Structure 1
Amino acid sequence: MAIEFVEKAKELYDRLENDRKSYITRAEECAKLTIPSLFPKEADNKDTKYDTPYQSVGARGLNNLTAKLLLALFPPNAPFYKLTLRDDLAAYYEADANAKYEIEQKLVQMEQIILNCIETYQIRVTINEAIKQLLVAGNCCLFLPPKEGGIKLYRLNSYVIQRDALGNVIQLIATDKLTVATLPQEVRSLIDSNKKPEEEIIVYTHVYYSNEDDRMYSYQEVDGKQIPGTENNYPKDKCPWIPLRLVKIDGESYGRGYVEEYLGDLKSLEGLQKAIVELAAIAATVINLVNPNGITQVRKVTATKNGGFAPGRIEDIQTLQLQKAQDMQIAKQTADALEARLSYVFMLNSAVQRSGERVTAEEIRYVAGELEDTLGGIYSILSQELQLPLVRRLLAQLQATGQLPQIPDNMIEPAITTGIEALGRGHDLSKITSFLTTVRDIPEAQQRINWGNAIISLASGHNLDTTGLVKSDEQMQEEMQQQAMMQMAQAATPNVAKGLIEGQEAAPTQ
């Protein structure tokens, strides 16, 4: 049931905007030391020139970490989720093998259709940008248009949000800046007729939760007037508006960014790198000092050919030097230490190998695994606030348009198969492989291993469904019985043939 609001959407936006100011200030500061154009100020436009940071660790680290997160959360050409039946329905279909097989085949088809939709609508490209926004600003919002398809990203400075104590969305107001000429005729009739076609106008979209029917409602407003025909409502878990946050803080409606946690090191490195660059430029400048009372004539020295001779004394002409080599060395050592720390934080490849020493591949894998473990918290919140809502929304959207097999959506539960779950399976796979390698040369140990369970564990570590791939114990037993019967038949064949020959020889001739 829709709620009647006394305040207009613009008034609500202006009131909630005060709680967002500190988060925007931190986001601008983090972007300034990584990629400044990621989070521009409100007054910036396409002609704004941004100052390039003196260090590139922030930008390289941000791009590297974004690529790793995107690859882990949304692997290419592979579903990051698995559609399964509810537990009570799965137990019901367990008895009917044919019905279970048909349901599983439909679920596989649905997974592939949703995956193709993600690639067709370029959702992965927008999510890549969203991950950068999360790392820098800690917040962003995704919108999947119900009819047009595709996806749109809202930066933190384009929306406000209010959550309850448990982090559930109470209301969200997003803003879109559109020119008057692009507005439909029915919307233009609601605004001031004196506005020029090229002028910008803000359209407010208010999304709010109603606990009476557990649904999300939305409408749009322009110039304080609600736009007719824009009212919509959705199930709470299938809303096209997906607000994201990277680090959850209890009691706060907004999240915190990853870069913010290491802002001190970035600031220190930026200051040191700027000082080193400026001091190096000064040191590279060559200035010769001439003794005004000396006997050496500068004109004769400059006119002398290379390797030639000129009258004078060496004391009369000297090159100006800063005598700051020791100070520059200290600054460089401190900057190198800061860069090494930030390389570990942003999971750069240079953080895996020790410089100047020989390392083994096992050590590289171990350190890389340790670095990936630090992102476990990020995987957890993104799986719940990004991956699951995205799959549920696409599932509902494609079913509404008839692009998916007709299965009641209340029968299906999406399960995320990447992120922290994939990390856990990866570690289990590494442990199992190492264990089997250890016992390979011990015959007594091999006899005690249940190879059927070992094969299934290896397949689970590779995220493979063993249905139809690995033989069950019953199939193995049947094959062994068939093989034994064939051996018995082959052994009996010579005796039967010998008996026939002997019988023919003993028969009397006529």
Structure 2
Amino acid sequence: MMQEAVSLAQRYKKLESRRNPVLERARECAKLTIPSIQPPDSFDEQTALYKPYQSQGARGVNNLASKLMMTLLPPNAPFFRFTLDPALIAEAGGDMAQVENTLAEMENILQQSIETSGERLQIYQMLRLLITTGNALLYFPDIDGNATLKVYRLDQYVVLRDPLGNLLELLIKEQIAPMAINNEVIRSKILSQKDENKTYVDLYTRAVFDDKANKWLVTQEINGIEISESSGEFEANELPYLALRWSALPNEDYGRSYVDEVIGDLRSLEGLSQARQEATAAAAKVLIFCDPNGTTSPNDIAKADNLEVITGRATEVTAFQLNKGMDLNAVRENINDLKQDLAYHFLLNSSIQRQAERVTAEEIRTMAGELEASLGGTYTVLSQEFQLPYIRLKVQRLRDNGVFPEGSEAIEPIITTGLDGLGRGAEMDKLMSFIQGAVGLGGQAISMLNFSYILSQMAVSSGIKPNEILISPEQMQQNHEQAQMEQLGQSVAPEIAKGAINGLNNMSPEDMQGMAQAIGNIPPEAMQGMM
């Protein structure tokens, strides 16, 4: 590792030269879609951005990002499930049904954490970056009351990968205010070195993978001063940074965007839209020409009201005409063809998802299939490179915060995605299909089904805690025994009552009086009335 502060700046500058061609390509893609996603160099909030002559690119990026958001993080529906090695359960002597209930509760806790974290806004921005520029960096801060995801643009970081695409080194350059530095000693040094003309200072964060220790080493420096409290080590799969790519090519450190694949159509549409707009503006301009040698007065024409009668000759007055109607029709047809092609690429013509507050799981699964078919496997790549690390880091944060118990490290999350299923809907479909097949085989096959486990799996697939809706086997046995006792009582009671009546009818008056006196409930006078 480099120890001098300037070395981090030099290292960043060296890797920056490798990244700049990719950055320029990303800026061109953003210019034709949403320029603010990847603004030009030296951009700030007061800088005026380029305004495209067409909005098809922006519509396409936003639409595709929304569809990906709906399928990658479906609202109120888990897109993952937890599993535990059955051998570990058997070794610990645990009950499989109880383990399933515990895993379902942990899934609900994690899903609730995702819904209440407010991270969807950052993930949506990340998706727009991936679609437009092909690259995005996500940072997961330590668990804190107000901590949330942070998204970095391509111009804020550099990376180095091995030939297989595995991340080896990450360097982030960001600007912070000196007063935001918690360490008073370092803050004083920074303030003494800071240029009075600059409001912010450059903060460098470096993460490099140590293959010998199989750990990530993270350091931070400002103006050559290392911030020791920000340094640390992370396990290989626990680095709180995710350097994401839309598509990866061999021996490339950075990804290529989806917009880059249709940049030709966007360039053509931009040029034709600009030409049509300028031609239309010229055609809309109204100019009246008067013959300078004629008798018609230009002032009379300019001052005349509507329907007013003035003296003059119509042949001496003409209106300016562009006479480019046929040419503009050809431009319009070409523009419509380009828009149709781009709408196909960005799934703007899709009618799968209804415009409603709630959408069904079947609609989400169908949308996932459409994305998979249209994007050539990119959706599946995102599920493995984003969803799985995202869930693992969320689980790690919940474990560090004490929400998940110790020993939960053995739990492995599985992403359910693609045509095989999104969330638990496909699990339910498979289960119901199997049950229908078993019922079709007859009574012997039905008797072999474990209905307790089936009901538990149906509850889990529906996102319901099984222990809240299903009774335990002990309670079921108790209810069964109680029902048997009630049924037995209902069948025996009439026979007992009939026998008692027959016995009373056969008793003598003296025996009945003696029995009543012995019990003490019926006085002799009442017995006399019964005789």
Taking structure 1 as the reference length, the TM-score comes to 0.79
d(CA) in 1 for partners of 2:405 and 2:427?
37
Relative to structure 1, the CA distance from residue 22 to residue 91 in structure 2 (aligned partners, 3 Å threshold; closer, same or farther) is: farther
CA contact (8 A) 1:459 1:466 kept: no
Q: In the superposition, relative to structure 1, how do residues 322 and 22 fare at CA in structure 2: closer, same or farther (>3 Å)?
A: same
Classify 1:274/1:313 alpha carbon distance in 2 versus 1 (closer, same or farther; 3 Å).
same
Larger deviation, residues 216-225 vs 205-214 = 216-225
Q: 2-side partners of 1:430 and 1:112: how far apart?
A: 21
Alignment check: 8 A CA contact 1:340 1:351 kept: no
Distance 1:463 1:421, change over 3 A: farther
2-structure distance, mates of 1:22, 1:463: 48
State the 1:420 CA deviation: 5.6
Give the equivalent residue in structure 1 for 2:159. Answer: 161
- The residue identity in structure 1 corresponding to 2:135 is N
**Alignment check: 8 A CA contact 1:34 1:62 kept:** yes
Amino acid at match of 2:404: P
Which of the numbers 137, 141, 162 marks the counterpart of 1:141?
A: 137
Tell whether 2:251 aligns with 1:251.
yes
- The residue type equivalent to 1:257 in the other structure is S
- What is the letter of the counterpart of residue 267 of structure 2? K
Structure 2 matches for 1:353-372, cutoff 5 A?
371-372=370-371
Give, in angstroms, the shift of residue 468 of structure 1. 7.5
Local SS of the residue matching 1:42: coil
Matched with 1:360 is: none
Q: Verify the 8 A CA contact 2:32 2:270 in the aligned structure 1.
A: yes
Looking at structure 1, the residues matched to 101 and 290 of structure 2 have their Cα atoms a distance apart, in angstroms, of 89
Structure 1 partner of 2:200? 200
Q: Deviations over 1:52-105 (max 9, x none)?
A: 111111111111111111111112233332222134325557x743x741x444
C-alpha deviation, 1:273, in angstroms: 0.8
Residues 322 and 194 (structure 1 numbering): CA distance in 2 closer, same or farther, change over 3 Å?
A: same
Deviation, structure 1 residue 110:
3.0
Q: Which has the larger displacement, 161-170 or 299-308?
A: 299-308
Instruction: Using the TM superposition, give the Cα deviation of residue 111 of structure 1 relative to its aligned residue in structure 2, in angstroms.
Output: 2.8
The answer for unaligned runs of 5 or more in structure 1 is 354-363, 440-445
Offset at 1:147? Answer: 4.9
In structure 1, C-alpha distance between the alignment counterparts of 2:31 and 2:287, rounded to whole Å = 36
Give the Cα–Cα distance (whole angstroms) in 2 for the partners of residues 381 and 367 of structure 1: 18
> How has the CA–CA distance of structure 1 residues 33 and 4 changed in structure 2, closer, same or farther, with 3 Å as cutoff?
closer
Matches within 5 A, 1:370-385: 371-373=370-372, 374-375=374-375, 377-385=377-385
Residues 311 and 15 of structure 1, relative CA distance in 2, 3 Å threshold:
same
Matched, 1:279 2:286: no
Larger Rg computed on CA atoms: 2
Q: For each residue in 1:19-73, what CA deviation from the matched residue of structure 2 results, as whole angstroms up to 9, or x when unmatched?
A: 2111101110011111111111221111100121111111111111111111111
Q: Is the 8 A contact 1:114 1:394 kept in 2?
A: yes
Matched ranges for 1:89-128 at <5 A: 89-90=88-89, 92=91, 96-97=94-95, 100-101=97-98, 103-128=99-124
Checking the alignment, whether the CA contact within 8 Å between 1:106 and 1:405 is kept in structure 2 is no
> Is residue 171 of structure 1 aligned with residue 169 of structure 2?
yes
Contact 1:82 1:111 in 2 (8 A): yes
Cα separation, 1, equivalents of 2:223 and 2:289: 71
Counterpart in 1 of 2:297? 297
Whole-angstrom CA distance in 1 between matches of 2:122 and 2:38 = 15
Aligned to 2:61: 62
The SS at the match of 1:28 is: helix
- CA deviation string 1:310-363 (max 9, x = no partner): 333322111111111111011001101111111121122x4549xxxxxxxxxx
Change (3 A) 1:264 1:432: farther
Alpha carbons 1:73, 1:419 under 8 Å: kept: no
Counterpart for residue 342 of structure 2: 342
2:185 maps to a residue whose letter is: E
Question: Are 1:426 and 1:461, in contact at CA under 8 Å, matched by a contact in 2?
Answer: no
**1:173-252, aligned counterparts within 5 Å?**
173-183=171-181, 184-188=183-187, 191=190, 193-196=192-195, 198-252=198-252
- In the alignment, which residue of structure 1 is the partner of 2:360? none
Instruction: Give the letter for the 2:236 counterpart.
Output: K
- What amino acid does structure 2 have at the position aligned with 1:86? D
- Give the unaligned 5+ runs of structure 2: 353-362, 509-531
Q: Distance in 2 between matches of 1:233 and 1:4?
A: 16
Question: In 2 relative to 1, CA 347–188 (structure 1 residues): closer, same or farther, beyond 3 Å?
Answer: same
- CA drift at 1:227: 2.7
Change (3 A) 1:381 1:366: closer
Partner deviation per Cα, 1:184-217 (whole Å, 9 max, x = no partner): 3232355482424654221211101112222111
Structure-to-structure mapping, 1:407-446, within 5 angstroms: 407-418=406-417, 421-422=420-421
Q: Percent identity?
A: 31
- What letter matches 2:149 in structure 1? I
1:223–1:75 Cα change, 3 Å: same
State whether residues 218 and 232 of structure 1, in contact with CA within 8 Å, keep that contact through their aligned partners in structure 2: yes
The aligned runs of 1:385-396 (5 Å cut-off) are 385-396=385-396
Q: Which structure 2 residues correspond to residues 317-336 of structure 1 after superposition, within 5 A?
A: 317-336=317-336
Residue range with higher mean Cα deviation, 36-45 or 78-87: 78-87
Q: Partners in 1 of 2:305 and 2:41 — Cα distance?
A: 61
Give the direction of change, closer, same or farther, for the CA distance of 1:230–1:432 in structure 2 (3 Å limit).
closer
Partner-residue secondary structure (3-state), 1:193:
helix
Change (3 A) 1:310 1:427: farther
The question of 1:74 aligning with 2:70 is answered no
Structure 1 position 492, deviation (Å)? 8.8
Which amino acid is 2:30 matched to? Answer: A
Q: In 1, distance between residues paired with 2:440 and 2:489?
A: 30
Q: Is the 8 A contact 1:57 1:342 kept in 2?
A: yes
Aligned to 1:356: none
**Separation (CA, whole Å) in 2 of partners of 1:77 and 1:48:** 39
Could you tell me how far 1:392 is from its partner in structure 2? Answer: 1.4
Deviation at 1:260, TM superposition (A): 1.0
Partner of 1:357: none
Q: Partners in 2 of 1:46 and 1:366 — Cα distance? A: 40
3-state SS of the aligned residue for 2:137?
strand
Alpha-carbon distance in structure 2 between the residues aligned to 1:392 and 1:233 = 17
Counterpart of 2:160, as a letter, is Q
Quote the Cα distance in structure 2 between the aligned partners of 1:190 and 1:466.
55
CA RMSD of aligned residues (A): 4.4
Change in Cα spacing, 1:336 to 1:423, as seen in structure 2 (3 Å) is farther
- Spell out, residue by residue over 1:444-491, the C-alpha distance to the aligned partner (whole angstroms, 9 max, x if none): xx96799989x99x96997667967999xx9xxx9xx99xx99x9999
Q: How far apart, in 1, do the equivalents of 2:195 and 2:148 lie? A: 30
Question: How far apart, CA to CA, are the structure 1 residues paired with 2:218 and 2:239?
Answer: 10
Stretch moving more, 7-16 or 459-468:
459-468
Contact 1:121 1:151 in 2 (8 A): no
